[in-house]
Structure 1
């Protein structure tokens, strides 16, 4: 992690995600009709979802991955943008400027991309374009602002390196841990924040397994509704439209968010939540929680729990490989 004078913490916000999929019709039903996001059809091979005034919060590109392929991070100042760019370059990691066409699709003025953990390309930008038309959504809105879009969760056999990557590139801070036991398997989940949101990245360690059991680069994506009624209404739409529910409504132990998890058309999960705590930097101390939920979050379909159980049989045939981008993945000094 850099020294405090050059810290970028608080000036970084998860701005958008890029999804590659062939299932545009299914995603439109899921994103617009079920979750309740604003949709913009751009062309045969591109579609966007909006949550707020920004032109783009989720960009869907046509392709075979059925996965999140990139994370876009909004950077508050050009000096911070330059600092992150320097960190990447100083460690010999290649970066490329996004084309004007790609920037337009993402609703940003310019962006820089470079490799990230789990094959997730990282993209940084300073200025998001705002949409001229108001949102067309069935709820009172989503919570973004200083906390950014929401969060992503991923599984990895290299938790120290993945945490080290986000520590080094974005000066991420550890919010807390959750220890969870699933079918006799002990898991430790690390929650990292880059601003006031309790976490923008969650890292579930599967380093006791032969390979990573999750096919997709992310295990889930989270968005936050403005009111409890909004969250409940979206849960009912997901169920009514026949989409699989991975976990029913429940409350997390660490950030206290009420949420549910639906299964996306691409196979990863989509968490819709309400009212997580906001971190107070003057008083916050990392701690360890036992179990992911205070109540609820019971399985209603195939979840990471089911996949881990199946993994005991199928592990030897899997070939999931991870790229930890080790030049940028300096392991944190204090971890366990």
Structure 2
């Protein structure tokens, strides 16, 4: 049984010591609802769900888990059976952990690049009145809360993983040169959103210039003004802009990229296309942007740091889950 269309990106778990910076970034700059009702954690909401971003104290300064909302217990059990049939261990979340995430129950299992995967059913509704800085709200619903982009040295295995576990489908490719490195980016969808996981990999040397488990996460706002106002708030509050406002070649989303307090990038976007499954055909685009998305504020120290990270990654083992990657999926 295919589970495509019954999977939705539901939340991210982030480990950080920079709570004060994240309060300003998430609430004041991006415009999300801040919930500090639980001790020693921060939670951000985008909609009625209790939690879309769970921030816990720790030194990683990184995203540590992706939470996936599953439509119904039958689909939940189908995915559990898939994972277990390949000999991959699963751990049931405790009642306390589930409450922090605002879900009825969840199960955790390992994912590629050291990013844990958590599947859950029945998200809870937040008890506080929603307070957002985006007048048109954030777009979630059947398309999920947004997307993540992950840099990897093993793109075929990562694509195979999400296809095996979630029946992810290929939307398209982008070929791009970034800071002198040639990348091929694969865009995977699990529902009507053009992509929920983007997989970026260099085309020659097996290296990864990104320190964090995700390169960026994306949230979508309901009105163009909400995106442009968030851009100005980010700058006015002193947070770095990674890429200015621009429009992507493949999903046509207008967006900008800020640098989060933990170092990975945060894309705020508006009006991406919705995939029509009856007519969609994967294609390859040259370059990530039709216009805009120009780098802002990158200095030589930052660029050298990325080159150093990339060079060191050649010698470092990248966490994978071979049992769920099959033989990997080669490009067509």
TM-score (norm 1): 0.94
Match for residue 61 of structure 2 among 61, 66, 75: 66
Q: Are 2:323 and 1:327 aligned?
A: yes
Q: Are 2:120 and 1:125 aligned?
A: yes
Corresponding position of 2:250: 254
Q: Are 2:265 and 1:265 aligned?
A: no
Q: Are 2:72 and 1:110 aligned?
A: no
Compared CA separation, residues 317 and 334, structure 1 to 2 (3 A): closer
- Residue pair 1:215, 1:320 contacting (<8 A) in 2 also: no
Alpha-carbon separation, structure 2, partners of 1:333 and 1:110: 32
Alpha-carbon separation, structure 1, partners of 2:117 and 2:230: 30
Corresponding position of 2:209: 213
- Residue pair 1:239, 1:245 contacting (<8 A) in 2 also: yes
- Residue pair 1:183, 1:309 contacting (<8 A) in 2 also: no
Alpha-carbon separation, structure 2, partners of 1:184 and 1:233: 32
Corresponding position of 2:231: 235
- Residue pair 1:157, 1:208 contacting (<8 A) in 2 also: no
Q: How many residues align?
A: 330
- CA displacement at 1:133 relative to structure 2: 2.4
- CA displacement at 1:132 relative to structure 2: 2.4
1:147-158 equivalence runs, <5 A: 147-158=143-154
1:2-41 equivalence runs, <5 A: 6-41=1-36
- Residue pair 1:167, 1:332 contacting (<8 A) in 2 also: no
Corresponding position of 1:97: 92
- Residue pair 2:30, 2:133 contacting (<8 A) in 1 also: no
Alpha-carbon separation, structure 1, partners of 2:322 and 2:65: 18
SS in structure 2 of the partner of residue 133 of structure 1? coil
- Residue pair 1:159, 1:207 contacting (<8 A) in 2 also: no
Corresponding position of 1:3: none
- CA displacement at 1:211 relative to structure 2: 3.2
1:147-204 CA distance string (max 9 Å, x none): 0010000100000000000000000000000011234432100000000000000000
Q: Which shifted more, 90-99 or 314-323? A: 314-323
SS in structure 2 of the partner of residue 328 of structure 1? helix
Corresponding position of 2:297: 301
- CA displacement at 1:77 relative to structure 2: 1.6
Alpha-carbon separation, structure 1, partners of 2:21 and 2:184: 33
SS in structure 2 of the partner of residue 53 of structure 1? coil
Match for residue 188 of structure 1 among 175, 178, 184: 184
Alpha-carbon separation, structure 1, partners of 2:13 and 2:217: 11
Compared CA separation, residues 313 and 58, structure 1 to 2 (3 A): closer
Compared CA separation, residues 315 and 273, structure 1 to 2 (3 A): closer
CA RMSD in angstroms, aligned pairs only: 1.8
Corresponding position of 2:134: 139
TM-score (norm 2): 0.95
Alpha-carbon separation, structure 1, partners of 2:77 and 2:169: 21
- CA displacement at 1:308 relative to structure 2: 6.6
Q: Which shifted more, 275-284 or 36-45? A: 36-45
- Residue pair 2:246, 2:256 contacting (<8 A) in 1 also: yes
Unaligned runs of 5+ in 1: 1-5
Unaligned runs of 5+ in 2: none
Match for residue 45 of structure 2 among 41, 50, 66: 50
- CA displacement at 1:66 relative to structure 2: 0.3
